[in-house]
Amino acid sequence: MMRHFLSRLMAPILVGLACATAQAGTDYALEAMEIEPGVWVVEGSTENFSRENGGNIVNTAFLETGAGVVVIDTGPSRRYGEALKRLIEGTTHEPITHVLLTHHHPDHVFGNQAFDPDTLYMLDTAKELLRRDGEAFADNMYRLVGDWMRGTEIIMPEKTLHPGEWEVGNRRLHLLEFTGHTGSDLVVFDEESKVLFAADLVFHDRALTTPQSPGLTTWIEDLELLEALPFRWLVPGHGAPSMGNMALQQTRDYLAWLDEALTRAASEGWSMTEVTAMDIPSRFDALEGSRYELTRTVTHLYPAYEKAALMLLE
Amino acid sequence: MSRWWLLVLLWAGLQAHAGVPADPFGSPMWEYNLERYLGADVQVRHDARIDLQVPAFAEDSAQVPLTLDLANFPHRPQRIIAWVDLNPVPHLFTYEPGVTPLRLIALNFRVQQATTVRAAVQDDEGIWHVASAHVDAAGGGCTAPSLTAANPDWERSFGTIRGRAFSRGDHLRYKTSVMHPMDSGMVDNIPAFFIEQVELRDGGEDELLLRLMLSESAAENPMFVFELPHPLAAPRLWMRDNHGNVFERRLEGETG
Ligand SMILES: [Zn+2]
């Protein structure tokens, strides 16, 4: 017993040391993959935030337009943002003119510091959400990935992005605002390359992060609108980019299952821990982190399903 | 001295400890809280037939779900005491039985840090059967601060009660939620304000079905789940907070 107790006390110290040595001289080692001419994706892992991956669990991207580079999201930390900027500068000779931030989650905007504040664009509602939740996210990120976050501060984007069609250089980008993932989610569609940057409305082989969804059915409706776009490539917020709509269908299938399972559980009076432990269909075996995310989903979303299944007693 | 004798002495030493087995989780609070809540001279044993369910980690430290399922526990519970070892006030609830045995109870609690959680169930011979579980401190990176805590509108919904009965074979599961801040008295000088007593009474004979005494570890806007054998008539739920507010509702019969 004593040994167990001691080992728990020791753990944080040992982790701290391991990080210090492993990270000296270690970088995010980002790589850009050109999926269409002038369109690059920087793919992260599908893991959870950890002290090993430094929060590099997210996809960022950039496009040449002939009139400057458009960047989509800045990553989880200042260090990531700086690595991304170096990668862009080593890949294209065009200057970075626009950085579009898809939503307020820390893994998408905490690299802002690396970029000229003049170039940072975000939807109005997403900015409000970042103002509201940013500090709490930062605390969480420092706790989860530790030293990788050193020097990271929340930078509020100066420019407000408005949905609509946008001519930039030789590209026409469609900027679409949805709400399913956080309440304000930007999607970018490039007509020229037919690449859809779906951000966190679509995950691929990774269980969805739902704590801030206004509702799973809202999210499903968003996906139906997305599917109508004539895209060839889909770049999800998490997981590998893919041709066609398989990632979108996987996301929708998972959402529909979740919504139905939570509705059924509530109608049968299940408790929260019972729902957390429910069977996840084997067709979702490929989705990394599904039990973990289900625990989170149930914590945040199940109470509304429960409430709807009860009657007001007067 | 042979090794065998050493073992015997070691075993005797453990036994000398008033019938308290070692804690599989090695919590520094194990013996202290056992004595605090169950008393000094008690028989305690770990019992895997008591199903204490908590999540592996606390995604929202203000709302951590707990289910205590006694379906496989062969004794009629005389008393149940649940606590959260490393909370400032560890006690979560004490259950006292009425005329029918409780099969399942669920409610949410708060945590301050990673901790073990205990449910001690006393059988009719006075022996305490303990189930333990561990909750890790916090979950993932996209967790926002609790919105209800910062919501100034709660007074409008204060005391709103929802409920429903669900059929579970020869049992009924009652689920009721009440809007109540359940302030623990340990945050920002907000005085303690929480429901401290919950009772369920048979709607016909007014006999007690169960009584629950709650403490500061219970979560805001509680959702109570109780599973009991079918009562004769739709039971009445009665609750009182530490400011003397009383809430009373008739729970609907079987609807689901
Ligand atoms: Zn996100």
Question: For chain B, which residues make up each domain, given as ranges?
Answer: 29-250
CA atoms within 13 A on the CB side of A285: 2
At residue A43, does pLDDT exceed 60? yes
Task: Please give the distance, rounded to the nearest whole angstrom, from the Cα atom of residue A252 to the centre of ligand 1.
Answer: 16
Give the pLDDT of residue B112: 85
Which among A106, A136, A145, A107 has a CA at the least distance from the CA of A15?
A145
Q: What is the pTM of this model?
A: 0.88
User: Smallest Cβ distance to B65: which of A106, A267, A272?
Assistant: A272
Phi, psi angle pair for A229, to nearest 5°? -75, 145
Q: Does some domain include residue A19?
A: no
Is residue B61 within 8 Å of B105, Cβ to Cβ? no
Q: Does some domain include residue A304?
A: no
- DSSP, collapsed to helix, strand or coil, labels residue B102 as coil
Q: What band does B139 get if pLDDT is binned at 50, 70 and 90?
A: low
Q: What band does A49 get if pLDDT is binned at 50, 70 and 90?
A: confident
Give the pLDDT of residue B17: 54
What are residue A41's DSSP bridge partners?
A33, A61
Which among A140, A108, A135 has a CA at the least distance from the CA of A123?
A108
Closest-approach residue (CA) in chain A for B173:
A269
Which residues in chain B have Cβ-Cβ distances shorter than 8 Å to A106?
Answer: 141-142
Helix-strand-coil split of chain A, %, nearest 5 = 45, 25, 35
Q: Give the whole-angstrom CA distance, residue B159 versus residue B241.
A: 11
CATH code, domain with A200: 3.60.15.10
Tokens of B45: 């044993």
Digit-coded pLDDT (tens) for B18-67? 578 999 999 999 999 999 999 998 999 999 999 999 999 999 888 999 99
Q: Which fold has domain B29-250?
A: Immunoglobulin-like (2.60.40)
- Annotate B109-167 with DSSP letters as a single string: E--SSSEEEEEEEE-TTS-EEEEEEEEBS---TTPPPPTTTT-TTHHHHTT-EEEEEEE
At residue A3, does pLDDT exceed 60? no
What are residue A167's DSSP bridge partners?
A172
- Cα B130 to Cα A11, A83, B47, B127: the distances in Å are 28, 53, 6, 10
Q: What is the mean pLDDT of chain B?
A: 86
Domain that holds residue A106: 28-244
| A174-178, A206-210, B132-136, B144-148: segment of lowest average pLDDT | B144-148
Q: Give the whole-angstrom CA distance, residue A185 versus residue A181.
A: 7
Q: Does some domain include residue A309?
A: no
Which residues in chain B have Cβ-Cβ distances shorter than 8 Å to A1?
Answer: 22-23, 26
Contact yes or no for A313 and B57 at CB 8 A: no
Give the pLDDT of residue B233: 81
Residues in chain B, total: 256
Contact yes or no for B60 and A277 at CB 8 A: no
The distance of B185 to chain A (nearest Cα, Å) reads 23
- Cα A106 to Cα A61, A99, A138: the distances in Å are 16, 15, 7
Closest-approach residue (CA) in chain B for A269:
B166
ipTM of the complex: 0.88
Q: What band does B16 get if pLDDT is binned at 50, 70 and 90?
A: very low
Q: Does some domain include residue A17?
A: no
Which among A172, A221, A170 has a CA at the least distance from the CA of A195?
A172
Which among A181, A197, A182, A186 has a CA at the least distance from the CA of A157?
A186
Q: Does some domain include residue A118?
A: yes
Give the pLDDT of residue B206: 87
> Which of B10, B105, B142, B225 would you mutate first to test chain A, the one with the most A CBs within 10 A?
B142
Q: Does some domain include residue A87?
A: yes
Residues 6+ apart with CB under 8 A from B44: B19, B20, B21, B34, B38, B120, B127, B128, B130
Q: Which residue bears the tokens 């109005």?
A: A124
Q: Give the whole-angstrom CA distance, residue B173 versus residue B163.
A: 10
Q: What band does A22 get if pLDDT is binned at 50, 70 and 90?
A: very low
Task: Please give the distance, rounded to the nearest whole angstrom, from the Cα atom of residue A181 to the centre of ligand 1.
Answer: 7
- DSSP, collapsed to helix, strand or coil, labels residue A86 as helix
Look up residue B70 and give its amino acid: L
The count of structural domains within chain A is 1
Q: Does some domain include residue A160?
A: yes
